[in-house]
Copies of this chain bind each other. A is one copy, B any other.
Amino acid sequence: MDATYGALCKHGYAELTMQDIAEESSKSKGTLHYHFEGKQDLLESFLAFLLNRFEERTRTIPGETPTERLHEFLDELLTPTDEESAEEFRTAILEIKAQSPYNEAYREQLAEFDRALHERLASLVADGLEAGEFRADVDPDETADFLVTVSNGSETRAAAVDRSPERTKRHVHQYIDEYLLADDTDTTVDDEMEAAE
């Protein structure tokens, strides 16, 4: 899976060959072919691996309150990793998304990921509602769906027109504080910063 990551970053999706992946690993091309039918089969496993890692990493989210955890989760989601290859990887994932309508296995894996992200977000929003932190008319499902869309848009624009996700991230934090939070909630970080100015 590390070799697949490396090869995707180096070659992109369209040009990627099993040979490229073998060259990033200690395995021979023959060994790869023993385990995987071909590039598409291997990439399907790679997408399943990414989903698994996402679920493990997001099992516990730091933060003392549901609102803090939602901020933290979205901050993580919308921050590109520091790795130099992050940009290349984002491009490769966008290529795979664009292949999805032609490839049922990719489509299923991507849909699983979409659902997992949606569920995580919906449960964080539901926690905030239960704790009385969010407006009573906030719908966890609607809100989660919207935030999954925002995350997809952020990734697409970063890859296609080189727009940093930083700006989207700032607006999403604001969206939580000004749109989701119940009016009687304590002042937010933003309010405090504004008050200090």
Residue positions of A touching B, CB distance < 8 A: 12-14, 87, 91, 94-95, 97-102, 107, 110-111, 114, 142-143, 145-146, 148-157, 159-163, 167-168, 170-171, 175, 178-179
Contacts and interface: CB of A to CB of B under 8 A. Distances in A.
A contacts with B: majority SS: helix
5 contacts: A87-B101, A91-B101, A146-B175, A148-B157, A150-B153
A86 to B, nearest CB: 12
Contact of A94 (B14, B97, B145, B146): B97
Nearest to A15: B102
Contacts of A143: 171
A160 to B, nearest CB: 4
A142 B14 CA distance: 35
A114 B143 CA distance: 25
Contacts of A98: 13, 91, 94-95, 97-98, 159-160
A20 to B, nearest CB: 16
A143 B141 CA distance: 23
